[in-house]
């Protein structure tokens, strides 16, 4: 029999059953979703309340899956890693430091698992981008994607993002997709902000160079940029 007062006694299979229930909108508890703050849910879940945890899962799943889809390039892989993320969260809730935002801690776990998944399958070629400016901060960058249809942007990014390391991709997706600031990304990666800035700079530089090399038709002539 499961002792729900002790998160360590709840197996991944038990948590997975709750995840399925939450994903299908069958909340196990009577508390309406909009009436409990995330902070309250986290504290209750940390005390072993699986109902509170299921509500947390339901709230956070869409955004987490979207983030992981951009990292992994496949929605089924994203769902699998999201589920594993929540299992890890449940198993380690007692270690959660409430001085940090729950979302920061959640993305740290998900980001590490995404990197593991990328390395384990030995490929960085699949990625997802639905609405994305490939590289911000320069006229050439903007012009490189002007007029491209969504499918074409995806194709270009899938081809060019193979030059990025896992950490460069993680920083890039968090900054450009999730619009996280450098300070929060530093917490997610457990590094300095200067390291985040370096990863971001290198990612943008590599993407610019790869787009220029593989898709020169999308890069304007220097005369056009300087005009």
pLDDT in tens, 100-131: 899 999 999 999 999 988 887 653 344 433 33
**What's the token pair of residue 38?**
């995330």
Handedness of CA 143, 148, 153, 159 (dihedral sign): negative
Given 67, 98, 123, the domain boundary residue is 123
Q: Can you give the pLDDT at residue 178? A: 84
109 and 141 share one domain: no
Q: Can you give the pLDDT at residue 159? A: 78
116 and 200 share one domain: no
Q: Can you give the pLDDT at residue 21? A: 47
> pLDDT averaged over the chain?
74
191 falls in which pLDDT band (50, 70, 90)? very high
Given 63, 89, 123, the domain boundary residue is 123
Contacts of 76 (CB under 8 A, 6+ apart): none
132 and 81 share one domain: no
Does the pLDDT of residue 227 top 90, yes or no?
Answer: no
Q: Please state the rounded mean pLDDT for residues 41-47.
A: 90
Residue 84 CB-half CA count within 13 A = 15
- pLDDT per residue over 66-91, tens digit each? 999 888 888 899 999 999 999 999 99
pTM score, whole prediction: 0.63
> What is the separation of C-alpha 151 from the centre of its chain, rounded to a whole number of angstroms?
21
Q: Please state the rounded mean pLDDT for residues 204-215.
A: 87
Is the distance from CB of 168 to CB of 206 less than 8 angstroms? yes
Q: Using CA atoms, how far apart are residues 22 and 18, in angstroms rounded to an integer?
A: 6
Does the pLDDT of residue 31 top 90, yes or no?
Answer: no
Q: Which CATH number does the domain housing residue 211 bear?
A: 1.10.10.10
What residue numbers bound the domain in which 113 lies? 1-123
Residue 210 or 27, more confident: 210
Is the distance from CB of 8 to CB of 48 less than 8 angstroms? no
Q: Using CA atoms, how far apart are residues 93 and 115, in angstroms rounded to an integer?
A: 21
Q: Is 191 left (phi over 0), alpha (psi -120 to 50) or beta?
A: beta
Q: Which CATH number does the domain housing residue 16 bear?
A: 1.10.1740.10
């Amino acid at each position: 029999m499961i002792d729900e007062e002790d998160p360590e006694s709840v197996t991944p299979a038990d948590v997975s059953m709750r995840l399925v229930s939450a994903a299908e909108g069958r909340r196990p508890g009577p508390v309406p979703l909009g009436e409990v703050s995330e902070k309250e849910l986290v504290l209750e879940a940390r005390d072993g309340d699986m109902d509170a945890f299921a509500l947390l899962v339901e709230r956070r799943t869409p955004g987490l899956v979207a983030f992981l889809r951009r990292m992994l390039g496949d929605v089924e892989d994203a769902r699998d890693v999201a589920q594993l993320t929540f299992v890890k969260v449940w198993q380690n809730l007692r270690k959660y430091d409430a001085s940090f935002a729950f979302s920061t801690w959640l993305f740290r776990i998900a980001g590490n698992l995404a990197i593991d998944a990328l390395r384990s399958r030995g490929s960085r070629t699949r990625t997802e981008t639905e609405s994305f400016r490939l590289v911000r901060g320069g006229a050439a960058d903007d012009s490189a994607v002007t007029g491209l249809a969504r499918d074409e942007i995806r194709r270009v990014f899938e081809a060019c993002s193979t030059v990025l390391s896992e950490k460069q991709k993680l920083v890039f997706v968090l900054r450009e997709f999730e619009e996280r600031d450098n300070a929060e990304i530093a917490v997610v990666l457990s590094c300095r902000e200067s390291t985040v800035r370096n990863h971001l700079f290198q990612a943008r530089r590599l993407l610019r160079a790869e787009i220029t090399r593989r898709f020169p038709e999308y890069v304007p002539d220097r005369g056009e940029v300087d005009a």
